[in-house]
């Protein structure tokens, strides 16, 4: 299983929201480019179009999550799905706050230790579904999600991905447009001190 959370970098970036407020697109692009180690200037405009009401910090979370976590993990799953002898299962975790590491609490159905996860009953049901998927995977080698059925293996062609949200569902190449946009971005030269 290979995956990421929907908002991996949220806790880091949103820890001090004031540092992100009021940033113009050029400043936002520079700051995100340093984190992503790519020139994201053109991508900032694309994310703004997708999320016109989001403040700068939410755009930063989306851009940096895609750069550092989501797209690399989905690319790895697709590559393994093509080349590996055993099936590979890809996921994006969209429950709770969707921040880094929070998916583990759901996979182990252990929300009582999740201070930032709401006590929403839907999160409890998602934790049961996520835990059931991991349990079936450990017993049979093939995860099954209650309410969804068998979780399809990720292939290079289909990039099948389970979106653990409310409700969980399978999607084919759910981030294709973003992946295509990122394919054209340039890797930055190393930034001194970063």
Query: What pLDDT, on a 0 to 100 scale, did the predictor assign at position 69?
Result: 94
Query: What pLDDT, on a 0 to 100 scale, did the predictor assign at position 105?
Result: 87
Which tokens go with 71?
């797209």
Query: What pLDDT, on a 0 to 100 scale, did the predictor assign at position 101?
Result: 86
- For the stretch 117-166, pLDDT in tens is 666 778 888 999 999 999 999 999 999 998 898 899 999 889 999 999 98
Query: What pLDDT, on a 0 to 100 scale, did the predictor assign at position 56?
Result: 92
Which tokens go with 186?
């340039």
- Per-residue buried b or exposed e for 151-183, using 16+ beta carbons within 10 Å of the residue's own CB: bbbbbeeebbbbbbeeebebeeebbeebbebbe
Residues 61/14, Cβ–Cβ less than 8 Å:
yes
Quote the CA–CA distance of 39 and 129 in Å, as a whole number.
38
Mean pLDDT across the stretch 92-96?
88
Query: What pLDDT, on a 0 to 100 scale, did the predictor assign at position 188?
Result: 47
pLDDT band, residue 59 (cuts 50/70/90):
very high
The bridge status of strand 2-5 relative to strand 90-93 is: parallel
pLDDT band, residue 186 (cuts 50/70/90):
low
Quote the CA–CA distance of 180 and 143 in Å, as a whole number.
29
* pTM (two decimals): 0.86
Quote the CA–CA distance of 140 and 134 in Å, as a whole number.
10
- For the stretch 4-52, pLDDT in tens is 999 999 988 888 888 888 888 899 999 999 988 888 998 998 998 988 9
Q: Which of 104, 67, 35, 56 is nearest to 183 (CA)?
A: 67
pLDDT band, residue 187 (cuts 50/70/90):
low
């Amino acid at each position: 299983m290979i995956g990421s959370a929907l908002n991996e970098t949220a806790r880091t970036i949103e820890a001090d929201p004031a540092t992100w407020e009021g940033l113009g697109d050029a400043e936002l692009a520079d700051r995100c480019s340093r984190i992503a180690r790519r020139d994201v200037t053109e991508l900032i405009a694309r994310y703004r179009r997708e999320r016109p009401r989001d403040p700068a910090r939410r755009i930063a979370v989306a851009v940096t999550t895609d750069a550092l976590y989501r797209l690399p993990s989905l690319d790895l799953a697709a590559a393994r799905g093509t080349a590996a002898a055993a099936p590979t299962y890809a996921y994006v975790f969209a429950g709770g706050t969707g921040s880094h590491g929070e998916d583990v609490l759901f996979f182990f159905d252990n929300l009582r230790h999740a201070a930032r996860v709401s006590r929403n009953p839907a999160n409890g049901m998602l934790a049961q579904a996520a835990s059931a998927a991991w349990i079936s995977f450990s017993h049979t080698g093939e995860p099954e999600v209650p309410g969804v059925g068998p979780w399809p293996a990720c292939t290079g062609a289909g990039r099948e991905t389970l979106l653990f949200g409310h409700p969980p569902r399978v999607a084919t190449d759910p981030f294709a447009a973003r992946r295509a946009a990122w394919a054209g971005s340039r890797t930055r030269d190393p930034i001194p001190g970063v």
